[in-house]
């Protein structure tokens, strides 16, 4: 019976980080507390149940918020945001672009159909990035911790998706000129380039199905062969969710590569129930 009480006490124990000065203020409270010197002396399991002091958590977030606000304010001094005249339906400007937070979607429209670029792909990417922290296999030190050492899978995948989205924004904002033509930074965007006609090609329908079957098969099998124990660590459900999200995410740079290098317009083109499904 005594052993059960001790186990219950250990599970309910909460460790609070504080200095010796702060300890002087709280040691006389009518609670069962003990002072321990140094957070680093605690075991990893004890650190997982440690409540960070307000000074540590909110202070870091406050400084980060101030720094971000300062960067935005300085950037706003040099970035112009003019109000234009009312839109004329009969005259569409060549260099018309969306606000910067929608530039990524506008950039995707160059490579995918509107329903894919505007709805399907962004929805899967955003939902996938939100779900990634819950796919982390580290059940002990991963709780409440977001360092690369504690959560390598979630951090790596999230950084890849996050960087890919902002690369699309940067390319669409700074490397696109009139007519959404690609311009290098040293080229004058006031000079309209002649868009040379390029004959785009599509995969044969059999080749498109073969591509996706081989691609998703490789995405499922390769991690199990390259990273030993990866499947066992994540478990069946988490493993297939993770590889599916990464496979869909990787399709965006793959499609961009095929578009620019091999002039591929669609990998798979279908028409089902009078609806065109093009990817």
Residues 177-188: tens digit of each pLDDT: 887 888 888 888
Residues 198-208 have pLDDT tens digits of: 788 888 888 88
- The model's confidence at residue 70, banded by pLDDT at 50, 70 and 90, is very high
pLDDT of residue 6: 45
pLDDT, mean over the chain: 77
Environment class of residue 41 by beta-carbon count within 10 Å: exposed (0-12), middle (13-18) or buried (19+)?
Answer: exposed
What band does 26 get if pLDDT is binned at 50, 70 and 90? low
Q: Which of 129-138, 141-150, 259-268 is predicted least confidently?
A: 141-150
**Residue from 123, 174, 142 nearest 238 by CA:** 142
pLDDT, tens digit (0-9, with 9 covering 90-100), for 94-122: 777 778 788 888 888 888 888 888 888 88
Average pLDDT over residues 142-151: 68
Cβ contacts of 103 within 8 Å, gap of 6 or more: 97, 168, 169, 172, 173
Strand 201-202 relative to strand 264-266, pairing: parallel
């Amino acid at each position: 019976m005594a052993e059960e009480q001790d186990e219950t006490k250990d599970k309910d124990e909460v460790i609070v980080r504080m200095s010796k000065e702060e300890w002087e203020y709280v040691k006389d409270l009518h609670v069962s507390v003990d002072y321990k010197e140094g957070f680093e002396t605690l075991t990893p399991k004890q650190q997982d149940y440690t409540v960070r002091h307000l000074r540590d958590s909110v202070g870091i977030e406050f400084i980060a918020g101030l720094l971000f606000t300062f960067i935005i304010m300085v950037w706003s001094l040099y970035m112009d945001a003019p109000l234009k005249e009312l839109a004329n339906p009969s005259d569409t400007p060549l260099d018309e672009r969306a606000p910067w937070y929608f530039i990524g979607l506008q950039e995707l429209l160059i490579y995918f159909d509107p329903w894919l670029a505007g709805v399907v792909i962004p929805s899967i990417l955003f939902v996938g990035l939100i779900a990634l922290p819950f796919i982390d296999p580290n059940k002990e030190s991963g709780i409440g911790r977001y360092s690369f050492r504690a959560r390598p899978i979630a951090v790596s995948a999230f950084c890849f998706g996050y960087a890919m989205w902002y690369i699309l924004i940067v390319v669409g904002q700074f490397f696109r000129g009139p007519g959404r033509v690609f311009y290098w930074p040293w080229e004058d965007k006031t000079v309209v380039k002649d868009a040379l006609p390029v004959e785009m090609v599509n995969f044969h329908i059999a080749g498109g199905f073969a591509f996706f079957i081989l691609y998703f098969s490789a995405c499922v099998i390769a991690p199990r062969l390259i990273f030993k124990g990866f499947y066992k660590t994540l478990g069946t459900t988490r493993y297939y969710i993770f590889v599916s999200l990464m496979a869909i995410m990787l399709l965006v740079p793959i499609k961009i590569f095929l578009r620019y290098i091999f002039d591929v317009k669609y990998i798979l083109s279908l028409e089902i129930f009078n609806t065109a499904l093009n990817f």
